[in-house]
Amino acid sequence: MSSRNFSEQQALTDSSGLGLEQVVSALRTSREVTNKIRHRGDIRELPSRQALAEVLQGLSAALFPTHYGRTDLNDENIDHFVGNTLSFTLNILAEQIRRGLLFVLEESTPEADLNRQAIAVTRQFAAGLPAIRDLLASDIQAAYSGDPAATSISEILLCYPGTTAIIYHRLAHALHGLGAPLLARLIADIAHSATGIDIHPAARIGASFFIDHGTGVVIGETTIIGQRVRLYQAVTLGAKRFPADQDGALIKGNERHPIVEDDVVIYAGATVLGRVTIGKGSTIGGNVWLTRSVPPGSNISQAQMRDD
């Protein structure tokens, strides 16, 4: 055995030489006594990030079988593939929903009731998948129509991080609305890690939405976005301030993010903060810092420039 490597057995038998007993004891004290931060104080099964990544892959394949599933599918076997993929994927999802409900429902909820609710949520989610696909089709078409560099719908699906982000967001938003907020947040973070685009799952986003390039885009929890809206990289739709209660704790859930109406374009690096409204058909220029509402048809830039 190499002097640099210890087997698991050695680590267990030689732990006293490393002082691990004291470390483990001190960690237990921190975990159970001085800094106990578990939800409701109990150890609970957590949703699995790895399982949710598998769910996202399966749902993407069911929604767009030849792009995210199998490239050799044809009219004779595609429905069979979609059905099998959904059956496998939704069973994994139901278990993750069950785990997520442990952080939502009353502590005393019987296990049978927990399982029934997880199945009910999964069933509702599955029933909504055709409508989600319809929305995603409008997003993909918006990307193809709005980007002169796009050569095909397949390129949009396979190569655009904004497409991945909006697929995952629409799935997460549906779960959030069905009472599975922890799962929705985990999916949003998976999307953020994969694309650099951070969309809170509660944000409401209309049809034909397009994020071009995408890196660094942030869309806050109470944001409302209309139809046919286009964002570029590094756009922030955020909160201007964070009100606190009389004890100094932040007030959660208040409407603090922008409303972006239909047919708005927001260019790279723009920051829009607070519960302001960007009127229909407006254009917000690059690197603009905006904390007030603007009427429909506005054209906001850092400075008006004139050609000589």
| 251-302 residue pLDDT tens | 777 999 999 999 999 999 999 999 999 999 999 999 999 999 999 999 999 8
CA–CA separation, 64 and 153 (whole Å): 11
Q: Which of 13-22, 92-101, 139-148, 208-217 has the lowest mean pLDDT?
A: 13-22
CA–CA separation, 293 and 272 (whole Å): 9
Identity of the residue numbered 42? D
The C-alpha R_g of the chain, in whole angstroms, comes to 24
- The enclosing H or E element of 130 equals helix 129-146
pTM to 2 decimal places: 0.87
CA–CA separation, 296 and 175 (whole Å): 33
Beta bridge partners of 211: 231
Mean of the pLDDT values across residues 168-181? 98
Q: Name the pairing type of β-strands 289-290 and 271-273.
A: parallel
Percentage of the chain with pLDDT > 70?
Answer: 90
In the chain, residues under CATH classification 1.10.3130.10 are 45-196
CA–CA separation, 170 and 187 (whole Å): 10
CATH architecture for the domain at 45-196: Orthogonal Bundle (1.10)
Asked if 199 and 180 count as a contact pair (C-beta separation under 8 A), the reply is: no
CB atoms under 10 Å from CB of 259, counted, come to: 19
In the chain, residues under CATH classification 2.160.10.10 are 216-308
Mean of the pLDDT values across residues 47-70? 97
pLDDT at 307: 46
E strand intervals along the chain: 198-199, 204-205, 210-211, 218-219, 224-225, 230-231, 236-238, 259-260, 265-266, 271-273, 277-278, 283-284, 289-290, 299-300
Mean of the pLDDT values across residues 180-185? 97
pLDDT at 10: 54
In CATH terms, 216-308 corresponds, of 2.160.10.10, 3.30.450.20, 3.60.21.10, 3.40.50.11890, to 2.160.10.10
Packing angle, helices 111-127 and 78-101, rounded to 10: 140
CA–CA separation, 228 and 207 (whole Å): 6
Mean of the pLDDT values across residues 108-114? 88
3-class SS string, 20-64: HHHHHHHHHHHHHHHCCCCHHHCCCCCCCHHHHHHHHHHHHHHHC
Closest CA to 220 of 276, 178, 179, 267: 276
